[in-house]
Structure 1
Amino acid sequence: MRFTSSLLFSAMLLAGCASAPSSIPEPGLTLSLIHINDTHSQFDASPASLKDASGEPLYTYIGGHPRLLTKAQQLRAQAAQEGIPVLFLHGGDAFKGSAYFELFEQRINIDVLNRMNIDAMALGNHEFDIGLTKLADFADKVNFPILAANIDTAAEPLLANSQNLKPYSLFMLDNNQLTPVASVNAAAGREVVAVFGLALEDMRAIAPDTGAVVFSSEIQSAQHTVDALTAQGVQHIIALTHLGHQRDLALASAVNGIDAIVGGHSHSLLGDFRHWYLGAQRPYAAIVTNPDGKGQTCVVQAGQFAQAVGQATLKFNTGGELLSCAGQNTLLAGTDYFRQALRNEPSRIAAVEQAVTERYVAGLPRTAIVAEDAALRSVLDNTYLPAVQQAYGAVISSTETEVPHVRLPGSGGSDKHGSPLAGHIADAMLKYVNQSAVQNLIKRPVQLSLVAAGNIRAPLAAGEVREGNIRLEVLPFDTPLSLLSISGAELRALLTDIISQSVVAGAHTGKFPYVAGIRYVAKQTGPATADLTTLDIKQNGSWQAVEPQQRYSLVTTSYLADGNDGWQLLQQLQAKQSDRQDIILRQQQVVLYPVKRVTAVQDSSGAQSFSARYHNSDGLPCKTEGVDCKVAAQAFIDYLKANPALLQQQREPTVTLQR
């Protein structure tokens, strides 16, 4: 079942405040939820900036797992002091996104997350990025359950016997503490809180390797799970999801009986964080009315990269009805402050400014200065960091200021043109495929490039830029480049569709398109619609309108060319035949893999997955020794080497989003 934005709007009673009944109810359980999501193996702190009390720029670092651990422990201790039971929940996507992960994969996540005292985690799409064997290893070795009530692993031997991958977990209330319990009966009459998980129902169209796992309807599975738990006498039910904030709101308006939804996937830092140049999203803790018109659900999410932690306090009456939900996301600040984006010792603020600056930062809304947990910091520094530092390789460029990356223009303190970094990467891809070494093989000039915001996993911090910054952080995926032709009309339809999907409030925006060789102006025309008012292509050094009937050659990533993450029109254009060529590197030499067609396969639940069929191979040999499939990363590295001052230069915008 699908819900329009207008229906969602009418379903939402309150946003950012508690619901108030007409009469004072008898008090029941009070529950605290500590939550994080989309941490993406960002174990170290992230660069951040703000203005000091006098309006001068100030550069610092925020978040990271050692700081996150300290804050979670503080929140637990505070709840215990107040006699409030607490759960610490992770909304999924612990995998991918840092040099630590590229080197140590699931192993470092097992080590670090097992030290966090997490109670449960949702199954995110990036947990599938490195294969089912390593996902199974992660699920079996973490000391908390991985939850997804809408998946069936019975036909997938690598996951079928996992005891820690399950639909829900039960927690028994005893002496104002919640402890795991095997069943309602085992609770022996004590109050029980249930936490069930939901994974993306369209996971097969997003994740690269889901094997024979079946993903079922989010809404139907949620209602079935809630009904089953309610029938067992469970009064308090939390959904731990990795669906995106918009789909969480839809879930709350379509399912009866969920008290709170703790989400992930859309990286939604709910609340106003413009003072940190992180934008202002919907207020924290939206209260949504259920379809029965009686029940209410509190919906929360906590941003990304371990930069902030959410804390929601839920209050119930003795009948188990949610009375109120309140709280906030808190950004985790440190005490290292610099006057330049390089963040080097010469730019550190003077000692006489330190105390004043700390008081100022600590007084900012939704901000806390938090010390790193010393033990976890030591583990990272001594066990993992030496190998990470060695892997970064040669310096290829430098930048005096951060080169930021945002998914959607206008978010995260960006302007209507969005991500400068994505534009440079699109330029690099276009330059790479038009060099003579590639043209001698493909024998067709390429006019434009397309890249999705989600292909890019990190900004470039000020300072030296090394190859490892690109291959391990910015573009860590195996991303072969794909060349294919498209008409002007098809290009317009593709961009319009993707942008329309992206402008929906709270939507997952990793699909948003950045471009080179063309430029567009898109205007949002409704809650879920956008139109292209301008679509030009550069020819002979000047901009000209894209012709609907003209065919153009484009380069993008193979992931997008297959139709993943909402780019399905590209799959549909190649369903019967394709002129596409995929590029990988073998012994650092370009090798082409021509594609016959791209198929869409449905599993037993109706979910689709997309797969390229090649003329000369069963698939790309990306895991073979001597083969490098990080071609997009190599293209950007080559581009920076050839243009070492590139990151200091202003790029002509090719994306404009008017909202």
Structure 2
Amino acid sequence: MILRRRTLLTALPLAAPTLRRAAAATTARVSLLHLNDFHSRHEGAQASGAACRTGAPCAGGAARLVAAFHAARAAATAEGRPVLALDAGDQFLGSLFYTRHRGLAEAAVQRQWGVQAMAPGNHDFNGGPETLAAYLRALGVPLLAANLDASAEPALAGLVAPAAVFSLGGARLGVVGVTLETIPEISSPGPRLRFTAPEEPVARAIAGLRAEAPTTIVVLSHLGLAADQALAAAVPGIDVIVGGHSHTLVTPPLVVDGADRPARIVQAGALGRWRGRLDLDLAADGRVAAHAGGAAEITPDMPEDPATARIVAEYGAPLAGLRARPVAQSAGGLENTICRLGECAVGNLLADALLAAVPGADLALTNAGGIRTGLPTGAITLGDVLTTLPFSNTVATVRLRGAALLAALENGVSAPGSGRFPQVAGLAFTWNPAAPAGQRIATARITTGRQAGPVRPEADYLMVTNNFLRAGGDGYAVLRDQALEAYDAGPPMEDAFAAYLTARGTVAPVIEGRIAAR
């Protein structure tokens, strides 16, 4: 089904954009406003990604973001450009607003800035289909994903389509949504949703749209920048890709050689810290004759939209008592900015907490993608812990052979920069990023407990992890398929982490050489 509705790598201001012109004559002028990877950051974020703190400079925030969208819409309208507002996914997960309200706060804010269509991100499935459906009903706009088959999931009936058509100022824009094929591995979509590779369904949707009338094709993508470039090269007919997932600030637009035409790619960073705008001059056949624009940073000195500020205050009221409870003191900031590339202090601390939660375990391993923010200097509250660990995962244990442990580590380092990168305790390993697949782990040794020494392929080890990884998430199928024994119903990870921090009293950033590249 195709729904029909009528109706910017450096941050730059958009007051007077300069159009990059092509050869075709202009017959319509439009403006795309866009956002991606908001991650429930209604109160903004520090530069480190940590939650905002009193007295610390904080960018973004829902009320300032909405005000920036209103200003951009007014400017575009004054220039004679009708606006289409798009969201490239991952509204969910990253603060207590999602933990408490399960997407309803995000829907309320999106309605304020006027979103008209959205592609789903991987984290938008974390609460399962029912949570996503309740959010979509509150949002009231189409969820677009050409490579998602939701026909067997009753909760999402009538809420998902491959594409939508919008008519703006004489232009016909076809918006084709696409999301990650790997969502069943990295999120919790349930058993009835089917995800496929994007190329064929996107090509099919484009062909259907163009068969009806001349159309400008906008792919609304939650694939990441590299995958967006590959999609543009593989699939003919793509004029624009509004992207997300990789948290990349792509501004001004990146122009790449597409399969049959230049494709403009934009992405507005992440966490609500930038508002994207792309101006298009369109030819009669729908091709882009000229483009301009970029992403504007949402700085702490920008005005707030009063109505949105009231909405955030209303949804934030129940969170105050919860987030204020102190659990520990930190002698230094524990950032999560390098956790997907190597050993990081907050990853060490969390892995230590997991190991302490299961006396007798040999090692602990958790994924960097589960560490959603850093921890601040000074007082660490329960709210900070819950924001850092928002997934409600449980502590899990798995007994496995050393060969399977080495395979798990191989998976963890197979895609540096991704959420699968391991953070460990009771274990030290070296790895070679240039080695062939299957040979990246150079050395691995247990550092504590009854089996201290090099990992032996035939020995069995008791690992502490989280239930998401234990069930095969983030590509750790070996923890599911080669478990000698397993138990997933331990305490919530956030409870174990908070208890460990409280027992320590004061913590400090520590890098110990647990993980080293060679």
**TM-score normalised according to structure 1 size:** 0.70
2:111 is aligned with 1:121: no
The 1:234/1:466 distance shift into structure 2, 3 A limit, reads same
Deviations 1:7-50 (A, max 9, x none): xxxxxxxxxx99886xx443344443222111111110112379
Q: Give the 5 Å matches for 1:541-580.
A: 544-574=453-483, 578-580=484-486
What is the Cα deviation at residue 286 of structure 1? 2.9
- Does the CA-based 8 Å contact 1:61-1:333 persist in structure 2? yes
**2:318 match:** 387
What is the Cα deviation at residue 200 of structure 1? 2.2
What is the Cα deviation at residue 422 of structure 1? 1.7
**1:613 match:** none
Q: Give the 5 Å matches for 1:12-411.
A: 24-48=23-47, 59-160=56-157, 162=158, 164-174=159-169, 190-270=170-250, 285-291=253-259, 294-323=260-289, 325-335=291-301, 370-381=302-313, 383-392=314-323, 394-399=325-330, 401-406=332-337, 408-409=339-340
**1:424 match:** 349
What is the Cα deviation at residue 407 of structure 1? 5.7
Equivalent AA in structure 2 for residue 109 of structure 1: E
**1:588 match:** none
What is the Cα deviation at residue 229 of structure 1? 0.4
Equivalent AA in structure 2 for residue 425 of structure 1: L
- Does the CA-based 8 Å contact 1:169-1:195 persist in structure 2? yes
Where does the alignment leave 5 or more consecutive residues of structure 1 unmatched? Answer: 1-16, 51-57, 175-189, 272-283, 336-369, 411-416, 435-444, 504-508, 586-629
Q: Which has the higher contact order (CA 8 A, sep 6+)?
A: 2
**1:642 match:** 503
**2:516 match:** 656
What RMSD in Å do the two structures reach over aligned CA positions? Answer: 2.9
Q: Percent identity?
A: 30
Where does the alignment leave 5 or more consecutive residues of structure 2 unmatched? Answer: 1-17, 50-54
Deviations 1:253-278 (A, max 9, x none): 2111111111222222346xxxxxxx
Deviations 1:416-458 (A, max 9, x none): x453212210111011112xxxxxxxxxx21211111121222
- Does the CA-based 8 Å contact 2:145-2:161 persist in structure 1? yes
Equivalent AA in structure 2 for residue 518 of structure 1: L
2:514 is aligned with 1:517: no
**2:487 match:** 581
The 1:257/1:527 distance shift into structure 2, 3 A limit, reads farther
The 1:408/1:643 distance shift into structure 2, 3 A limit, reads closer
Equivalent AA in structure 2 for residue 450 of structure 1: L
What is the Cα deviation at residue 211 of structure 1? 4.3
What is the Cα deviation at residue 489 of structure 1? 3.3
Deviations 1:170-207 (A, max 9, x none): 11122xxxxxxxxxxxxxxx431111211222322333
Equivalent AA in structure 1 for residue 315 of structure 2: Y
The 1:331/1:496 distance shift into structure 2, 3 A limit, reads farther
CA–CA distance in 2 between the matches of 1:653 and 1:47?
A: 27
- Does the CA-based 8 Å contact 1:501-1:529 persist in structure 2? no
CA–CA distance in 1 between the matches of 2:70 and 2:517?
A: 41
- Does the CA-based 8 Å contact 2:396-2:488 persist in structure 1? yes
Equivalent AA in structure 1 for residue 307 of structure 2: A
The 1:75/1:657 distance shift into structure 2, 3 A limit, reads farther
Q: In the alignment, which of 357, 375, 378 is matched to residue 460 of structure 1?
A: 375
The 1:318/1:103 distance shift into structure 2, 3 A limit, reads same
- Does the CA-based 8 Å contact 2:36-2:244 persist in structure 1? yes
- Does the CA-based 8 Å contact 2:340-2:420 persist in structure 1? no
- Does the CA-based 8 Å contact 1:150-1:167 persist in structure 2? yes
- Give secondary structure in 2 for the equivalent of 1:565: helix
- Does the CA-based 8 Å contact 1:34-1:89 persist in structure 2? yes
Larger Rg: 1
- Does the CA-based 8 Å contact 1:408-1:502 persist in structure 2? no
CA–CA distance in 2 between the matches of 1:133 and 1:46?
A: 28
The 1:29/1:531 distance shift into structure 2, 3 A limit, reads farther
What is the Cα deviation at residue 226 of structure 1? 0.4
2:410 is aligned with 1:496: yes
What is the Cα deviation at residue 535 of structure 1? 2.7
**1:477 match:** 391
- Does the CA-based 8 Å contact 2:125-2:188 persist in structure 1? yes
Q: Give the 5 Å matches for 1:576-655.
A: 578-585=484-491, 630=492, 632-646=493-507, 648-655=508-515
CA–CA distance in 2 between the matches of 1:552 and 1:264?
A: 39
- Give secondary structure in 2 for the equivalent of 1:204: helix
CA–CA distance in 2 between the matches of 1:525 and 1:510?
A: 19
CA–CA distance in 2 between the matches of 1:168 and 1:62?
A: 33
What is the Cα deviation at residue 473 of structure 1? 1.0
The 1:34/1:135 distance shift into structure 2, 3 A limit, reads same
CA–CA distance in 1 between the matches of 2:435 and 2:200?
A: 28
In the alignment of these two chains, the number of paired residues is 496
CA–CA distance in 2 between the matches of 1:19 and 1:552?
A: 60
What is the Cα deviation at residue 222 of structure 1? 0.3
The 1:431/1:324 distance shift into structure 2, 3 A limit, reads farther
CA–CA distance in 1 between the matches of 2:318 and 2:366?
A: 30
The 1:260/1:530 distance shift into structure 2, 3 A limit, reads farther
What is the Cα deviation at residue 228 of structure 1? 0.3
Deviates more, 1:480-489 or 1:233-242: 480-489
CA–CA distance in 1 between the matches of 2:24 and 2:219?
A: 25
CA–CA distance in 2 between the matches of 1:74 and 1:450?
A: 46
CA–CA distance in 1 between the matches of 2:403 and 2:476?
A: 15
CA–CA distance in 2 between the matches of 1:270 and 1:486?
A: 43
The 1:108/1:527 distance shift into structure 2, 3 A limit, reads farther
- Give secondary structure in 2 for the equivalent of 1:426: helix
The 1:512/1:151 distance shift into structure 2, 3 A limit, reads same
**2:7 match:** none
CA–CA distance in 2 between the matches of 1:568 and 1:540?
A: 26
The 1:485/1:313 distance shift into structure 2, 3 A limit, reads same
- Does the CA-based 8 Å contact 1:407-1:454 persist in structure 2? no
